Amino acid sequence: MRRLLAWLLAAMIAVSLFPVGANAAEASAELDTAKIDALVREGMEKYRIPGMAIGVVHRDRMVYVQGYGIADDGKRPVTPATPFLLGSVSKSLTALAIVQLAEQGRLGLDDPVRQHLPELRWKESEAGGPVTVRHLLNQTGGLSTYTGRAWIADGDLAPAEAIRRLDGVKLKETAGAVFRYSNVNYALLGEIVTRVSGISYEEYVAGSIFQPLEMRNSFAGNSDDERLAAGYQSVFGQLRETKHLIAPALVPAGYLAASAEDMTHYLIAQLNEGQYGGQAIVTPTGTRAMHKPEVGFSYGLGWFSFGNRIWHGGDAENFHSDVIADLDSGWGIVVLMNTNDALLTTVYGHAYGELSMRLMEAAVRGGTLPPGYPPLTPFGSIEAVLGAVCVLAAVWISVDVIRMIVRRRRRQFPGYRHLLTAIAPFYFVLPLMILIAVPRAAGAPWGTVLRFSPGLGHAMLVLSAALLALGAFKLCGFKAESRTSRAPPK
């Protein structure tokens, strides 16, 4: 959430510092694609992005779509038709599905959620009314960010089980009072789509969104589709192709897949009051409702909104995406990447979103950034530093185990109190701090941390556990041996 706040603040500053005038937008309807390509390659090199695809639209036409780099270890090239996981950009499509059903009269946005999911047994605030479909859409239902992230680690989580896990959960705030971004909101919305439509969420999205928008390389919840790009993560500083988990319950919140070409069709509909290719997938009123912020945090129905721009970003374990549209000028861009580095973007800012905004600013000006536009924020050396610390800790533990063995053989035992004073900071305080602080900083349990930070996350967890175990063994073993050595001979 802190990364999200930082990115939104930076985006709003960028909008205020570099506004898009109508003349500039109209004059740059023809794009200098070579300049866009150069900016993309600069970002890919700086942020070590294996594969990337972008699509640029202006009002009702696709201006440019291109793929860069590789889609997998087999060196398959990324093309405009290569599908990527969308991460939380999926939420905007789920919101579209709900608005479609509302316009058909099959549900109301102000219906209580329990009207459609009667088995829900959460504890709502007594001070306010029931949680409604609209509250889920604009992330004000009182559900926690932590719970939504915790579910990511459970690759087998089905919608029915997700609902059961909410039994007895006390909602944090009165419905509609506080913005709290949570995957749970959109997991529930996906199940509402299933219940109201009478078909699965995946079938509904395929038939009512992908098909009319001619999104032929888009699908839901199938990580084995051979068209899908492979995702990459940094493992001890080296990019590695890694496997992602797709929990069925979280497909509506973050695991739709689409190509850059397909997403330009979606953007065109967003910029043209729901129209694409002469067909309306939603009414102009419904489109405007999705874009209009309904709470103080500038979030509408599945879209962030600031000034004249709408945006949504997405982070799966090993993918990142951004969709940005300028409603006044009619420009829009989709940026898809097959990598994600949760550690570096937490420490150094939302670099991938920064790159996407940079490309948007260039696109609306024909490919050239405005004078004074800030350079890309570089990644620092935190990954190398933490990796070195883990190596040193592993060496320390290994040496200490050897020393323990030698001492036991020589029957050299320090005093118990002296030993406790000596080992407590390193063997107990430090690992406990790591075990507690890392999940708190991430706003997610260790299971999710390990999905988003493989290698280094595993090392920190294992080494912390090893230090605790070694410290406990030292205390118990040395205390027992000391008693034995002081016991009078029989």
- Quick: pLDDT tens for 256-298: 999 999 999 999 999 999 999 999 999 999 999 999 997 677 8
Q: Which tens digits make up the pLDDT trace of 128-168?
A: 789 999 999 999 999 999 999 999 988 889 999 999 999 99
Give strand ranges (E) for 363-490. Answer: none
Q: Which tens digits make up the pLDDT trace of 381-412?
A: 777 787 788 788 788 777 777 776 666 655 55
pLDDT at 103: 98
Is the pLDDT higher at 419 or at 254?
Answer: 254
Q: What are phi and psi of 344, to 5 degrees?
A: -70, -35
Type of residue found at 327: L
Burial grade of 22 (CB within 10 A; 0-12, 13-18, 19 or more): exposed
Q: Which element (helix H / strand E) includes 54?
A: strand 51-58
Taking the C-alpha atoms of residue 490 and residue 487, their distance in angstroms, rounded to an integer, is 9
pLDDT at 10: 52
Which residues on neighbouring strands pair with residue 235, listed in sequence order? 238
Helices and strands (H and E) in the chain: how many: 20, 13
Q: Which tens digits make up the pLDDT trace of 294-327?
A: 767 789 999 999 888 999 999 999 999 999 999 9
DSSP letter at 30? Answer: S
Contact (CB, 8 A) for 65 and 56: yes
Which residues on neighbouring strands pair with residue 64, listed in sequence order? 56
Shortest CA distance to 359 belongs to which of 373, 342, 340? 373
pTM: 0.88
DSSP letter at 123? Answer: B
pLDDT at 5: 46
Taken in order 273, 312, 324, 260, the sign of the CA dihedral is negative
b/e per residue, 108-124, with b = 16+ CB within 10 A? ebebbbeebeeebebeb
pLDDT at 55: 98
pLDDT at 135: 96
Q: Which tens digits make up the pLDDT trace of 219-240?
A: 997 767 889 999 999 998 889 9
Residue whose tokens read 């510092």 = 17
DSSP string covering 304-340: EEETTEEEEEEEETTEEEEEEEETTTTEEEEEEESB-
On average, the pLDDT of the chain sits at 87
